[in-house]
C-alpha cells in the first residue's frame, strides 16, 4: 500500500516551523524528549535510541509511570515494546530484528511512534490518562458489553505434558487474588461513602454537595495545595502544547515522508494518513477521494489475502471449514448486536470514560455526576458479558481436562461442579 502525499506549503516556511511542531509534540508526550532527539533519530544515530525506547514504553504501558515501571532495565523495556507493537499489528519487521539492549534503532522507533500517532489521537489519550483528578471517579465503558463474547478459536495442541496440579494451583492463586481485589475495592467504596457523607454541604457547587478525597486532603494538609497547583500548571502547559501540535501537525507528517524515504523498503510499508487539523473548503472532497482510494486498495488486498488463505487451508479438511463458518457466525452476531444497540439508543452516545462519583438525595439536572442508575446499568451489562465469557472458558477448560485425563490410563477424573 503506497503513501499519498498532501499538498506541501513553502519549503522555507516548513523548515522554520518544523522545530516548533516537534517541540509541541514533545511537550505532550511523557518524558518530553527533545526535538534534537527526533532529528538524531531520523539519521539513525545510536544516541537517540534509548530515549525513544523509554518513550514508547511509557506510551504503550497501561500502568502509571511510577517508580516500579520506570526502574525496569532498558532491555526489559525494549522487549516489552516489541511485544506490544506486534500485538497491535505493527507491520514493519525491522523493529523486531533490533537488538534488545536498546542501543540501536532510532529511525525505526521514530516510525513506530509516528504509526501510533497516525492510528488515533495519541496525545489526547495520554492527557486523559494523566490528568489531575480533583473528584472521585469511576471508569464506565459499554463498548465491549455491546458485542457477544463470540466463539472460541480452534484449539491448538500444547507442546509437552501439562501438569493438572499446576493448573489447579494457578486457579486457586487467581481466585485468592480476585477475592483480595474485591475486598480492597469494597473497603475503598466504604471509605468513599464515609467521606462523602461527612462532608455533605461543604462544597461550593450545590450540584455536587460534598467534597472528594483530594479536596478533603487539601483541608487536612493545606501545604499539599501548592503541589496540586504545580500539577495543574503542568497539565495546562501540556494542554496548550497539544493545541499547538494540532495546528502544526501537517508539517510533522511532511517531515515523516522524508524519514520514510530514508528507510529500507519492506513488503508491508507504513502508510501515514494524518488528520487535517484545520479543514478548508475543499477538505471534504479531498477526504472523500482519500477514503475511496483506501477502500479500493483495501478491497484488493483483502481479496488477495482471502485467495491465498483459501489456497493454503483448502486442503486441511472439514475442521478448517467449520472453524471458518464459526468465525463468520460470531462476526455476524457481533454486528447484529451493535446494530440493535444503535437502533435502541437512536444514535445517542453511551456512557464512556471516567465519571465523577456524586452522593446526592435528588438528581440535579445538568450536574456533572454519574448517577447510580446509569452506573448500575452499565455494570450489569458488563457483568452479563463477562459471565458469558466465563462460562465459555469453563467449558473449554473442562473439555481440555477431560482430554488430558483420558490420555492417562487408570486415572479417574471427577469434573468440578458447574456454576
Say whether pLDDT at 380 is over 90.
Answer: no
Question: Are 102 and 78 a contacting pair, CB within 8 Å?
Answer: yes
Tell me: do 105 and 253 sit in the same domain. yes
Q: How far are the Cα atoms of 17, 63, 117, 234, 242 from residue 238, in angstroms, in the given order?
A: 19, 20, 16, 6, 6
Number of domains making up the chain: 2
Instruction: Look at residues 138, 133, 134 and name the one whose alpha carbon lies nearest to residue 211.
Output: 134
Residue range 256-280: mean pLDDT, rounded: 63
Tell me: do 116 and 252 sit in the same domain. yes
- Where is the domain boundary, 264, 299, 314? 264
265 compared with 328, residue with greater pLDDT: 328
Asked if the structure places residue 171 within a domain, the reply is no
* Max avg pLDDT among 206-220, 226-240, 260-274: 226-240
Task: Tell me the pLDDT band of 184, cut-offs 50, 70 and 90.
Answer: very high
Question: Are 77 and 140 a contacting pair, CB within 8 Å?
Answer: no
Q: What is the DSSP string of 290-325?
A: HHHHHHHHHHHHHHHHHHHHHHHHTTS-HHHHHHHH
Grid coordinates standing for 354? 471516567
Asked if the structure places residue 63 within a domain, the reply is yes
pLDDT, position 156: 41
pLDDT, position 2: 42
Domain range enclosing 397: 370-406
Task: Count Cβ atoms below 10 Å from residue 109 Cβ, excluding itself.
Answer: 26
How far apart, in whole angstroms, are the C-alpha atoms of residue 51 and residue 78? 11
pLDDT, position 180: 94
pLDDT, position 155: 43
322 compared with 2, residue with greater pLDDT: 322
Q: 334 burial class (0-12, 13-18, 19+ CB within 10 angstroms)?
A: middle
Say whether pLDDT at 161 is over 70.
Answer: no
Asked if the structure places residue 386 within a domain, the reply is yes
Asked if the structure places residue 114 within a domain, the reply is yes
- What is the average pLDDT score of the chain? 76
Question: Are 319 and 129 a contacting pair, CB within 8 Å?
Answer: no
Those residues whose C-beta lies under 8 Å from the C-beta of residue 322, and which sit 6 or more positions away, are none
Instruction: Look at residues 364, 363, 341, 361 and name the one whose alpha carbon lies nearest to residue 351.
Output: 341
Asked if the structure places residue 253 within a domain, the reply is yes
Largest CA distance in the chain: 82
- Where is the domain boundary, 264, 295, 329? 264
Asked if the structure places residue 26 within a domain, the reply is yes
Tell me the pLDDT tens digit for each residue of 208-219: 778 888 888 888
Residue range 332-358: mean pLDDT, rounded: 67
Instruction: Look at residues 58, 81, 55, 84 and name the one whose alpha carbon lies nearest to residue 69.
Output: 58
The whole-model pTM stands at 0.59
Amino acid at each position: 500500500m503506497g503513501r499519498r502525499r498532501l499538498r506541501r506549503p513553502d519549503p522555507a516556511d516548513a523548515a522554520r516551523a518544523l522545530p516548533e511542531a516537534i517541540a509541541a509534540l514533545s511537550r505532550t508526550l511523557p518524558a518530553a524528549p527533545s526535538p534534537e532527539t527526533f532529528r538524531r533519530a531520523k539519521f539513525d544515530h545510536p544516541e537517540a535510541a534509548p530515549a525513544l525506547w523509554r518513550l514508547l514504553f511509557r506510551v504503550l504501558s497501561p500502568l502509571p509511570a511510577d517508580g516500579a515501571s520506570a526502574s525496569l532495565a532498558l532491555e526489559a523495556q525494549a522487549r516489552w515494546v516489541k511485544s506490544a507493537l506486534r500485538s497491535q499489528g505493527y507491520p514493519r519487521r525491522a523493529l523486531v530484528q533490533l537488538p534488545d539492549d536498546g542501543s540501536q534503532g532510532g529511525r525505526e522507533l521514530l516510525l513506530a511512534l509516528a504509526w501510533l500517532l497516525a492510528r488515533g489521537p495519541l496525545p489526547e489519550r495520554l492527557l486523559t490518562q494523566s490528568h489531575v483528578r480533583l473528584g472521585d471517579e469511576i471508569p464506565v465503558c459499554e463498548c465491549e458489553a455491546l458485542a457477544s463474547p463470540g466463539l472460541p478459536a480452534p484449539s491448538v495442541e500444547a507442546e509437552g505434558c501439562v501438569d493438572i496440579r499446576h493448573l489447579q494451583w494457578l486457579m486457586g492463586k487467581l481466585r485468592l487474588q480476585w477475592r483480595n481485589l474485591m475486598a480492597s475495592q469494597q473497603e475503598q467504596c466504604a471509605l468513599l461513602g464515609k467521606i462523602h457523607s461527612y462532608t455533605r454541604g461543604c462544597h461550593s457547587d450545590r450540584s455536587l454537595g460534598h467534597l472528594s478525597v483530594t479536596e478533603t486532603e487539601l483541608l487536612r494538609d493545606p501545604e499539599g495545595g501548592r503541589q496540586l497547583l504545580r500539577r495543574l500548571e503542568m497539565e495546562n502547559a501540556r494542554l496548550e502544547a497539544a493545541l499547538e501540535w494540532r495546528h502544526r501537525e501537517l508539517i510533522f507528517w511532511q517531515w515523516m515522508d522524508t524519514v520514510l524515504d530514508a528507510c529500507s523498503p519492506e513488503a508491508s510499508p507504513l502508510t501515514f494518513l494524518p488528520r487535517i487539523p484545520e479543514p478548508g473548503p475543499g477538505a471534504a472532497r479531498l477526504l472523500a477521494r482519500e477514503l475511496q482510494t483506501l477502500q479500493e486498495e483495501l478491497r484488493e488486498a483483502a481479496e488477495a489475502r482471502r485467495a491465498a488463505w483459501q489456497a493454503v487451508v483448502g486442503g486441511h479438511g472439514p475442521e478448517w471449514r467449520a472453524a471458518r463458518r464459526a468465525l463468520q457466525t460470531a462476526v455476524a452476531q457481533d454486528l447484529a448486536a451493535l446494530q440493535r444497540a444503535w437502533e435502541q439508543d437512536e444514535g445517542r452516545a453511551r456512557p464512556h470514560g471516567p465519571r465523577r462519583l456524586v452522593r446526592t438525595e435528588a438528581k440535579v439536572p445538568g450536574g456533572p455526576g454519574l448517577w447510580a442508575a446509569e452506573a448500575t446499568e452499565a455494570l450489569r451489562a458488563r457483568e452479563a458479558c463477562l459471565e458469558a465469557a466465563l462460562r465459555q472458558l469453563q467449558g473449554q477448560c473442562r473439555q481440555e481436562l477431560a482430554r488430558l485425563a483420558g490420555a492417562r490410563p487408570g486415572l479417574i477424573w471427577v469434573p468440578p461442579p458447574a456454576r
